[in-house]
Structure 1
Amino acid sequence: MRLAFHQIDAFTQQPFSGNPAVVYRLDTWLSDNLMQQIAAEHNQAETAFVVREGEHWHIRWFTPAAEVPLCGHATLAAAHVLFEVYGEPGERLAFTCKSGALAVSRETDRLVLDFPVARVADVPVSAELERALGVPVVAAQQGNELLAVLESEQAVRACRPDFVALAQLPGLGVIITAPGEQHDFVSRYFAPAIGINEDPVTGSTHCLLVPYWAKRLGRNELKAFQCSARGGELHCRLEGERVKIAGHAILVASGTLHL
């Protein structure tokens, strides 16, 4: 069996920046075990698999270690592949996944993710969280991810966490965030429990970040930057119970997997 794949750098216009994802457009689903093995072989933050089901595309995402319920950058990558490589018509792609209905639209030269707002609750700042991050935490929220608010962009950039300790905390991963110096807010995302010490640019975490910063700053249009080593810029908008996340994507590699 031969399967075509395409590697995309998402949330960037330049190769070797943003967040890489591998995309497979399949005719029918492979076994869960085989998809996990393929993701481990590519060893990227996410490998996305899409299968057409009626008018929608069913999408699933795998890290090298586990399947995840939602992923932004790999959805952006999948939409770029479907539009630009396979020539899908129209300006909007509808997706279904474990987290519900998603969509990606073309707006000028950007792709725009349409994701659900993530449900979170305020939680006390624990000593375990501060020890794992090695920096003071101003406030915290807990949902599928643990959100930690720091004092400044400098604190976010300087954070050198203990990944073993982070993996023991509740949730899929830990987001750190603070007001930005040139952006409305900045963030980083650590998920060692699912095989990703630090993700370069994470669309799905902005389902928590955008509602938090929209409320704190008093406006719904926000410009964000994820200040990982590769880095990436996200243009965000809160619309009721949905978060719109816009960014660019670029094809960097294509190939064939031989099984």
Structure 2
Amino acid sequence: MKAALYQVDAFADRVFEGNPAAVVPLDSWPADAVMQAIAAENNLAETAFIVPEGEGYRLRWFTPAVEVDLCGHATLATAHVLFTHLGHAAPEIRFETRSGTLAVKREGDLLSMDFPAAKPKPYPAPDAIAGALGGKPLVWLKTNNLMAVFGSEAEVAALAPDFSLLGRSLAPMNAGLIATAPGSGGIDFVSRFFAPVHGIDEDPVTGSAHCTSVPYWAKKLGKSDLVARQISKRGGTLWCSDAGERVIMRGRCADYMKAEISF
């Protein structure tokens, strides 16, 4: 079989920043093992697969190691491919996923995603994880991921985790780890995201992590509209809104490659 593959930098104003994702549009589903092998071959944080379903699409996401329940940047990239390359004319796209129905629409030159909020709750300080992370957070919280809140952007930027130890420490809860702090210069908060359990030591820009960080910072800062910056090596900016039980995330995409794959 052959299929088109698009590689898109999501949450990026230009190529080589934001988070790269592969998008593979299909007419029907191949075996799960085939999709996992394609994702491993791509060796990107996420490969997204879509098949038409009803008025929209069924969307699935694979890291090089596992299928995941939710991925923001690959959803943004998929919507970009549909709007820009595959002729989707309606103003909104609806995706059916493991995390329910997700909608993406155009807002000027931005794409806007409507995701479920994941409001964090206090969590006892996990000493082994703190040691692997290499920092001293002020607060620990948890949803499906852990979140470590630091006092400054400099502390988050300086983190140099022991990924082997961090992965072993996070494995029992099958979680990733968000490190976050207040921002400056028009940025409300910054973050980094580590997911060695899922085969990704550090993710460049993580939409799904903002389902947790946006509700926290909206309450902390007393505002519903927030500008977030993920300060990985590549970096990326998200324009976010806290909408109660939902989180709105907006960003841009840049095309890197279109190819044809065989499998």
TM-score (structure 1 length as normaliser): 0.98
> Aligned equivalents of 2:98 and 2:119: distance in 1?
15
C-alpha contact 2:152 2:181 (8 A) present in aligned 1: yes
- Which amino acid is 2:181 matched to? A
Alignment of 1:83-94 (within 5 A): 83-94=83-94
Q: What residue number does 2:39 align with?
A: 39
Runs of 4 or more above 3 Å deviation? none
Q: Which runs of 5+ in 2 are unaligned?
A: none
**Which secondary structure does the structure 1 equivalent of 2:206 belong to?**
coil
Q: What residue number does 2:11 align with?
A: 11
> Aligned equivalents of 1:177 and 1:159: distance in 2?
11
> Aligned equivalents of 1:239 and 1:211: distance in 2?
9
C-alpha contact 1:166 1:174 (8 A) present in aligned 2: no
Please state how far the C-alpha of 1:119 moved relative to its aligned partner.
4.2
**1:237 to 2:241 alignment:** yes
Alignment of 1:159-238 (within 5 A): 159-167=159-167, 168-169=169-170, 170-182=173-185, 183-238=187-242
**Which secondary structure does the structure 2 equivalent of 1:177 belong to?**
strand
> Aligned equivalents of 2:253 and 2:63: distance in 1?
19
- Which amino acid is 1:189 matched to? F
Alignment of 1:149-164 (within 5 A): 149-164=149-164
> Aligned equivalents of 1:179 and 1:212: distance in 2?
11
Cα deviation code 1:180-214 (max 9, x no counterpart): 12210000000011110000001000000000000
Cα deviation code 1:127-182 (max 9, x no counterpart): 11210111111111111111111111000000001111211223421110000122
> Aligned equivalents of 1:48 and 1:184: distance in 2?
30
Please state how far the C-alpha of 1:30 moved relative to its aligned partner.
1.1
Please state how far the C-alpha of 1:90 moved relative to its aligned partner.
1.3
TM-score (structure 2 length as normaliser): 0.97
State the percentage of identical aligned residues.
Answer: 51
- Paired residues, number: 259
Q: Which runs of 5+ in 1 are unaligned?
A: none
**Which secondary structure does the structure 2 equivalent of 1:172 belong to?**
coil
> Aligned equivalents of 1:124 and 1:172: distance in 2?
15
Cα deviation code 1:44-81 (max 9, x no counterpart): 00000011111121100000001110000000000000
Deviates more, 1:127-136 or 1:166-175: 166-175
- Which amino acid is 2:175 matched to? L
- Which amino acid is 2:210 matched to? H
Please state how far the C-alpha of 1:244 moved relative to its aligned partner.
0.4
> Aligned equivalents of 2:227 and 2:141: distance in 1?
21
Superposition RMSD in Å: 0.9
C-alpha contact 2:91 2:105 (8 A) present in aligned 1: yes
**1:254 to 2:258 alignment:** yes
Q: What residue number does 2:24 align with?
A: 24
C-alpha contact 1:11 1:18 (8 A) present in aligned 2: yes
> Aligned equivalents of 1:144 and 1:95: distance in 2?
22
C-alpha contact 2:119 2:216 (8 A) present in aligned 1: no
Q: What residue number does 2:113 align with?
A: 113
Q: What residue number does 1:82 align with?
A: 82
